[in-house]
Amino acid sequence: MCHNGRMAATRTRRPERRREHPLSRERIVEAAIELLDTAGEGGLTFRALAERLATGPGAIYWHVTGKDELLHAATDAVVAAAVPPAAADTTPQDAIRATALGVFDAIDAHPWVGTQLARSSMDMDAPILRIFERLGRQVQALGVPRAVQFTAASALLNYVVGVAGQNAANARAVEPGTDRTEFLTTMAAAWADLDPEEYRFVRDIAGDLPRHDDRVEFLAGIDLILTGIAPRERPA
């Protein structure tokens, strides 16, 4: 009887479900990005990742050693997609603008990337180093003197990462579903009511606030920096 029961159990056991796609580091990183986008850094746990991938945490550890490595890999994947190499016929100015906008849009879509970039150092393989390299090559192509190339590239990098990160932070501070124009109009009215002696400039430009475009303003800042670092011809 027991023998027959064992045989019946063997015959009725459901076969182990095969994954449509084998687990890989790339799939893990893609799932981590999705999880970071929806739950933030605090929601990125190996348990949550294992549930999303329908696997066990042990299988994930086979490909990544821990959360720090996973955050690094996820950030690098987003940055790599955002700042591809410039085409051969692209001017240095346009290449810098494209890199800057790529980072701006990437951080806007994945706000956690801005936090990771702000935390990271210039260690080997750091995602922020990829951005610095892209900007630095174009600074060289502009003909900026060697003595100030580091300063020029650093100014661009700090502006790009800082402003993009601040823009994403501002967006997160607003309640979802808020009408942007209505929100900015209300803020502009508050600016216009500030003390005229202490906030003369802010009151003067308050009316511009509801009409401004963040990406346009961001690029305008890039152009100001490019104007400042462009080599100047010596007078004859």
3-class DSSP assignment, residue 107: helix
Q: Tokens 């929806």, residue?
A: 38
pLDDT lower than 50: segments of the chain? 1-19
Predicted pLDDT at 22: 78
Neighbours of 47 (CB within 10 A): 10
What does the pLDDT read at residue 233?
Answer: 58
Give the position of tokens 């490909």.
63
pLDDT, residue 144, reads 96
User: What is the reported pLDDT for 9?
Assistant: 45
Q: What is the pLDDT of residue 78?
A: 96
Give the pLDDT confidence score for residue 5 in this predicted structure.
47
Q: What sign does the dihedral 93-94-100-103 (CA atoms) show?
A: negative
User: What pLDDT was estimated at residue 3?
Assistant: 47
Long-range CB contacts (within 8 A, 24+) of 75-78: 75/113, 75/116, 75/117, 75/120, 75/127, 76/125, 76/127, 76/130, 77/29, 77/30, 77/33, 78/33, 78/106, 78/110, 78/113, 78/127
What pLDDT shows up at residue 82? Answer: 93
Helices (H), ranges, 40-148:
46-53, 57-61, 67-82, 92-109, 111-119, 127-141
Pairwise CA distance, residues 120 & 113, whole Å: 10
